[in-house]
Chains A and B, each alone.
Chain A
Amino acid sequence: MGRYVVRRLLQMIPVFIGATFLIFLMVFALGDPVTGLFGDRAPDAATAARLRAEFNLDKPVWQQYVLYMGNIFTGDFGTAFNGRPVTELLADALPISFRLMLVAIVFEIVVGIVLGVVTGLRRGRAADTSVLMATLVVIAIPTFVLGTTLQFFLGVQLGWINPAVSPAARFDELIVPGIILALVSLAYVTRLTRTSIVENARADYVRTAVAKGLPRRRVTVRHLLRNSLIPVVTYLGADIGTLMAGAIVTERIFNIQGVGYQLYEGILRQNSPTVVGFVTVLVLIFLIANLLVDLLYAVLDPRIRYA
């Protein structure tokens, strides 16, 4: 187990370097950002050159990358064009996106798995069909439409929530955005759980458990559900990263100043320190979430062993 974790951690290093380099190249390929700072006016050459030197933009791309990576290991993620260190932006944005992700994932797990179990156990009945229909609808409607509609009805018409989330982004403010963010994944979790439950319901060990005379509740929760969760956990693990990084639409609708917003601004202003800094942290989150998922397998399925 220990050796397995160490091996996985070591594997992260090339993935990390490769991913950051690719992102660096992509942002670099967008072109020179300095001209954009001057608005509709040609930059005066001397000031532009100063700014390029300040952000290392006057050097070849490989050298920029080496300088940047060197700084990262000393904890310096560079400076955004508005003069703020990227670490400060990260410290502001990450907790907010993390809370939003937490709300979404809890909602996904609780509602998604319950719906999945219920529909899986009642395959073909009315409850199953209607939930399947509902998930189809949710998957089909873009987040943008659902988000703005719900925001307008709950925020403006009924006045139950504030349409915009305050900078503090408390948990109670994040409930509605979290649900919007979770909806599509929720539909997938429901469907995954349902399929898995349906498959395993006919498995030998379930029949054995029933034959042993175990109570129905215990069979479902301890035996059937636990084994059926493996594909769901895989999905959820990957989803943690997606929810943190991919909340751009939801974050913009509800004015949440999280990772998605900072990435959006960074890309629009072609600010490579911001974009690469955030993506680097997201890559780390992805890698760690995936490692945790793999370790969770062993917890869920006693047959899986890591050496």
Chain B
Amino acid sequence: MRKGTRLTMAVAGATAVGLLATSCGGGDDGYGGGDGGSTVRASWGDPQNPLEPANTNEVQGGKVMDMIFRGLKRYNPETAAAEDALAESIETEDQQNFTIKIKQGWTFSDGTEVMAKSFVDAWNYGANIENSQINSYFFQFIDGYADVHPEDEGAEPTADTMSGLEVVDDHTFTVRLTEPFSLWPDTLGYTAYSPLPQAFFDDHEAWLEKPVGNGPYMIDSYSRSQSMGLVKYDDYAGDDEARNDGVELRVYTDNNTAYTDLQAGNLDVIDDIPASQLKNVESDLGDRYINQPAGIIQTVSFPLYDDAWSGEDMVKVRQGLSMAINREEITAKIFADTRTPATDFTSPVLEESGGYEPDLCGDICEYDPEKAKEMIEDGGGLPGGTVTLTSNVDTGSHRQWMDAACNSINNALGDTGACTVNPVPTFADFRNQVTGDSMTGMFRSGWQMDYPLIQNFLQPLYYTDASSNDSGYSSPDFDDLVDRANSADDEDEAIDLFKQAQEVLRDDMPVIPLWYQNGTAGHSERVSDVKLNPFSVPVYTEVTVS
């Protein structure tokens, strides 16, 4: 009997723990937004960093930023052209000193007015090293950046604010850049340049719990890494106001589940269709499947800091390797046409008026195995007879396309051991190896544009010692053309010079352009007018619910 009691107690204890666990989760389903009205239910991923404009550099956090903030400029979701949002006028005489007037009547969703100070304070915050903002380099063009963000590790800032920013009156401020940059006003649509309300500086922690911005939506509820409910901001002053009552972002731990939820009618908008569903997505969704160009290009870089790859004749080897990769087949078979073979170093979203040049690369980006073999042998052959192709393999279909690309090269060279894949387990590890200049063969490089300008596809990647110049490429001709483009008097002239700089790249081939990446999305029958902007983020404001 005594034992029996003990057993009973054990069971009773377990039950009590169970009930305790239940009580935590009872009640509603825990989603932020309401089910009623015309709320759009959309898929989301957990943002990597805290949600603040100068600290958001990936697409999940970017989705929210795009909904709750408007900057001086906004990129037209269809044409990618930079159009005035809060900017009344941005004037300059010398492409270096700018006078910015902002429109009146814009408010943050806490009721305070957006003023010149809102921008200046936000930019100073984003640039200051003490705030460890990942996007701080965006402010590097502004005079005084070096004082608030010294380059050396461990150095302390010598100023609190950048000397190049000055508030003139409530709705005017001036910006002085360190050097001329003719396209600078067009970069101002990037999230990092958003204005911030006083509340951000008064109580930063509270603001992060529930960010307040000046965009078409405001955050109603936010339970971190689970969901976010956004509602239409009724006093929004812009002309792209929301056509629905709100958006409910739901975090999915796996995009496949989001896709299944869309099929079951529990979700309205999913962006980034999972690779495993691409084969059947057209039959599943029909015309509710969206597949359109985005400002992303994938390339393969060479370690030009390695003597084996930087020799005079090696350009032929690099161009030969480019011709040995069958882009058409890989984009069709592995990516189900969600990639398009690349023919230049930019992106089709720029359109030809913005510098995209569909004929730039010509034969060098066409698959021609015989010519490829000839070119590689002409250039002295692969260094050591073999080459590796390195990338992280934790996301995307990197492993698959690398295998295919290597196969393609091996077939062209008639040598099964010429190209081998070197998989790296995590992205962070891969980036450590790349930024540590420890590559010995080809490696994956990709670029998602910050703003739709040809400058953004060239300067950060190929200018000498630029922030994303992973291959260590350095060309005086290229640098000179970029410098001249930045100080050009008007945009057309600037774009023309950037196009010439692109020709230098083609002739030097520090990287092989592979393909342009598309954005993919799908939506339910409950909603319509779903489209993606050039950053492959759904344009939530235009979605209508029937």
Contact = CB atoms under 8 A, between A and B. Distances in A.
Given A40-B446, A41-B468, A163-B266, A83 B428 contact: no
Contacts of B401: none
B132 A50 contact: yes
B216 to A, nearest CB: 25
Interface stretch (B231-239, B255-263, B491-499): B255-263
A269 interface: yes
Interface in B130-174: 130, 132-134, 136-137, 149-155
18 contacts: A36-B427, A36-B431, A38-B57, A39-B57, A40-B448, A41-B57, A45-B152, A46-B149, A46-B152, A47-B134, A83-B208, A92-B226, A95-B24, A96-B25, A152-B260, A163-B264, A168-B30, A257-B253
Contacts of B3: 299, 302
Contacts of B154: 46, 49
Given A45-B152, A49-B154, A82-B48, A30 B264 contact: no
B468 A42 contact: yes
B243 interface: no
A40 B132 CA distance: 18
Nearest to A106: B18
A268 B445 CA distance: 19
Contact of B467 (A44, A89, A148, A251): A44
Interface string B1-34: 0010011001000000010011011111111000
Contact of B7 (A156, A254, A299): A299
Contacts of B448: 39-40
Given A166-B30, A167-B29, A35 B428 contact: yes
A92 B150 CA distance: 39
A31 B137 CA distance: 24
Given A36-B431, A156-B264, A163-B257, 7 more contacts: A40-B448, A49-B153, A167-B31, A168-B29, A254-B257, A255-B257, A267-B426
A164 interface: yes
Contacts of B460: 41
Interface in B226-256: 226-227, 250-254, 256
B254 A253 contact: yes
A129 B6 CA distance: 37
A281 to B, nearest CB: 15
Among the interface residues A34, A47, A51, A155, which one has the most CB atoms of the partner chain B within 10 A? A47
A172 B29 CA distance: 11
A5 B212 CA distance: 53
B428 A269 contact: yes
A196 to B, nearest CB: 18
A171 interface: yes
B353 interface: no
A170 interface: yes
B344 interface: no
Interface in A123-159: 148, 151-152, 155-156, 159
B283 interface: no
A268 B426 contact: yes
A37 B26 CA distance: 36
A204 to B, nearest CB: 21
A152 B284 CA distance: 13
Nearest to B155: A46
Interface string B190-233: 00000000000000000010000000000000011111000000
B468 A270 contact: no
Given A40-B445, A44-B151, A46-B152, A164 B258 contact: yes
B223 to A, nearest CB: 7
A42 B467 contact: yes
A90 to B, nearest CB: 12
Nearest to A93: B225
Interface in A24-61: 30-47, 49-51, 54
A98 interface: yes
Nearest 6 A/B pairs, CB to CB: A36-B428, A168-B30, A166-B29, A167-B226, A83-B50, A167-B30
Contacts of B423: none
A43 to B, nearest CB: 7
A77 B469 CA distance: 37
Contacts of A99: 21-22, 25
A252 B257 contact: yes
A151 B264 CA distance: 10
Contacts of A46: 129, 149-155
A161 to B, nearest CB: 9
Contacts of A32: 428, 432
Contacts of A156: 260, 263-264
A153 to B, nearest CB: 11
Contacts of B227: 167
Contacts of B46: 82, 265
Given A255-B257, A269-B428, A50 B264 contact: no
A37 to B, nearest CB: 6
